[in-house]
Structure 1
């Protein structure tokens, strides 16, 4: 039975506008639209899709984790990234969804997005943890995790089966510029191979590996799904970045200094920085540590 999407409607703000994933499971998306946290105006004209010629060279799983985790950061810009790992068949007692969040390449929290439970919080996260936008963010990330899990059977490459599904890695990014423009993007990968890139500005879907073809074919004509992805990256992500930067400005300037950096605080008393344990955690959850260490 599909999960019902009712939480987004309950968390709506004053500027909320219609969105597809509020009241129905993904299997019934087209029959009953709901409401969303943020809505972004659709780009002029029809949605365009593009596919690259050929495919890129394969990336190792560990290399992918670092490339997906690191958000772009420049002195005149600010970026917010959410890195999801969806593990269809996790080991007993381990989460099926993990998300690591970064602002300007600085970790600020990680959580079990399947249960909406925080695993680790940095000093940046502690600064905004009590805000309304923080709570909205956590619940929305759970919605994204549910969306990805429900989509996985229909978008995974044909060489995988339901009995042996791949691990899905996803990065969503929004980046603000000095001129006020905010750009957004999504990257999707299966078992360490980046397969699809989405430019949220014009909703161009680009296949960068054959493993992304089914994803593109399923989504390219589905305006409900593409609108959802665009709203998350250029609506919700942009809104959170704007609100959180009010609290973070001085801390980020300190973090950018070559001599100082903000201390890391942890919700469960751990004494290790999230950036150090997150890649290994994901490898353990995915059951890929032996492959990486011995391969």
Structure 2
């Protein structure tokens, strides 16, 4: 009987460690591009803001390739090798978006004016460790188009995004670029930066992931990972000792 109890205790502890170890803190990394195709004198043609858990940590000027650190988070990782590759990719993305503006601008907007193209790339890690990525595109503050980097699906959320969808959905090179940068580069940066960031982020406010649906699903998974060990423990005790 004593050996059975010892085996039971060991099994219960093993289950709890296994299930609780499958979760991790959710984090997100985003880059917001603002492209001004016809900039006024002194205006930047491309600006990028970087956010971690929706907190701004850098501002990048594509034209001058200068970075302004908006928080200690940027200072913490600026000497990492991933940091240099990040800035090159951000500049290349800005160049691509600027080149695409004439072909994706809504037909109703025919005059050169203050129109700007906005793009938001986000990659995030849920608290079950799963990684995801997506893009959002819009004009002058109006969200128009969504791109799911995981399945390559485009979704028009405003008529202004129809021309953009038609152009990019049929352009394999552009679609592949968006997928590569968000699924490949962004994820790699997030994982590399978190090595230095996680302690700093834990001392700040609770992290917020990208889309609200991610947060809700992550919360549900987190609850399950704690509930399952308790249910299994009760079941095992009932079977062995009932």
> Same fold by TM (over 0.5)?
yes
Helix, strand or coil at the partner of 1:256:
coil
Q: Could you list the per-position Cα deviations for residues 173-203 of structure 1 after superposition, in whole angstroms to 9, with x for gaps in the alignment? A: 0011233321111111111211100111101
Displacement, 1:247?
A: 0.4
Equivalence map 1:65-84=2 (5 Å)? 76-84=25-33
Aligned to 2:97: 148
Displacement, 1:115?
A: 2.4
Q: Which moved more, 1:77-86 or 1:162-171?
A: 162-171
Q: How many angstroms apart in 1 are the aligned matches of 2:188 and 2:30?
A: 13
Q: Does structure 1 conserve the Cα–Cα contact (< 8 Å) formed by 2:37 and 2:98?
A: yes
Distance 1:149 1:166, change over 3 A: same
Q: How many angstroms apart in 1 are the aligned matches of 2:119 and 2:170?
A: 21
Helix, strand or coil at the partner of 1:79:
strand
Q: How many angstroms apart in 2 are the aligned matches of 1:255 and 1:107?
A: 13
Q: Could you list the per-position Cα deviations for residues 225-249 of structure 1 after superposition, in whole angstroms to 9, with x for gaps in the alignment? A: 1111011111000000000000001
Runs of 4+ aligned residues of structure 1 deviating over 3 Å after TM superposition are: none
Aligned to 1:63: none
Displacement, 1:165?
A: 6.3
Give the unaligned 5+ runs of structure 2: 1-23, 207-242
Aligned to 1:198: 147
Q: Could you list the per-position Cα deviations for residues 82-123 of structure 1 after superposition, in whole angstroms to 9, with x for gaps in the alignment? A: 001101122212211111101111211111123211133310
Aligned to 1:160: 109
Aligned to 1:208: 157
User: TM-score, structure 1 length as denominator?
Assistant: 0.60
1:126 aligns with one of 63, 75, 81: 75
Q: Could you list the per-position Cα deviations for residues 22-61 of structure 1 after superposition, in whole angstroms to 9, with x for gaps in the alignment? A: xxxxxxxxxxxxxxxxxxxxxxxxxxxxxxxxxxxxxxxx
Q: Could you list the per-position Cα deviations for residues 129-161 of structure 1 after superposition, in whole angstroms to 9, with x for gaps in the alignment? A: 111111110111000000000000000100112
Aligned to 2:123: 174
Displacement, 1:162?
A: 5.7
User: How many residue pairs are counted as aligned between the two chains?
Assistant: 184
Aligned to 2:44: 95
Give the unaligned 5+ runs of structure 1: 1-74, 258-295
Aligned to 2:181: 232
Q: How many angstroms apart in 2 are the aligned matches of 1:103 and 1:81?
A: 6
Displacement, 1:169?
A: 1.0
Aligned to 2:172: 223
Of structures 1 and 2, the larger Rg is shown by 2
Q: Does structure 1 conserve the Cα–Cα contact (< 8 Å) formed by 2:145 and 2:158?
A: yes
Displacement, 1:222?
A: 1.8
Aligned to 1:251: 200
